[in-house]
Amino acid sequence: MSWITLGHAFVVIYFLFSSLAKLVNYPYFVEQLPRTLARTYSHLLAIIIIFTELTLTIALIFRFHTSSILVGLILLVFIFTVYIFIMIQKGITKEDCGCYGGFLKERLDYQKVIQNSLLIILLLILLLQPSSTAQLRDYGLAIVGFITYMLLHHFYQKLQQNQVKLAKIKSM
C-alpha cells in the first residue's frame, strides 16, 4: 500500500461523506446558501453542488478518467475556497458553511480556507502521481483516518465553545 492509494481512498471517502451529508440533510444545506445568494437559486445551486460532488466521487471510485475527475475536484474545492474567502471579507464568519450538511458544523473562517487549501494540495499530489489502484484495506485505513479527523474536529469545536463560555463567565 502506498500513500497515494491511501490519499485516493481518503479523498473518495471525504467527498462521498460531504455529498451524502448534504443530500441527507438537504433542507439544512439549502438554508445555508441564501445567506449570500439569491434565494430563488439556492435549491438549484444545492442540487448542482450535491450532484457534482457525488458524480465526481463515484467516477473517482471507478477510476473513470481519474485525471479529469481530480481536476474537477480541485476546481470545485477552489471555488468553495474563494466563496468562503469572499464571505469572510464581507464579515460573514459566524455562519455554518453547510459543507457537511449540518452533521459537522464549520464556521466560515480562515481555518476552513486553510483546510480547503490542504485538500487542494492533496488533490494536486494525487493528480501528479502515477495512477495506482486503491484496495479495500486502503479504504478501511482512510475511513479510520477520516473518523479520526471528524472526532478531532468535533473535539476542537467543543473546546472553542467551552473557551467562549469561560470568557463570558470571567467577564461577569
Predicted confidence at residue 41, as pLDDT, reads 78
Of the given ranges (10-19, 53-62, 149-158), which has the lowest mean pLDDT? 149-158
Q: What residue segments make up the domains of the chain, in order of their start?
A: 3-171
Predicted confidence at residue 77, as pLDDT, reads 94
Of the given ranges (60-64, 124-128, 148-152), which has the lowest mean pLDDT? 148-152
Confidence of residue 85 (pLDDT cuts 50, 70, 90): confident
Residue 136 has pLDDT above 90, yes or no: no
Nearest to 35, CA basis, from 81, 93, 79, 82: 93
| Percent of the chain's residues with pLDDT above 70 | 78
3-state secondary structure of 96: strand
Which whole-number Å values give the CA distances from 28 to 23, 42, 43, 108, in the listed order? 10, 11, 11, 16
Predicted confidence at residue 153, as pLDDT, reads 67
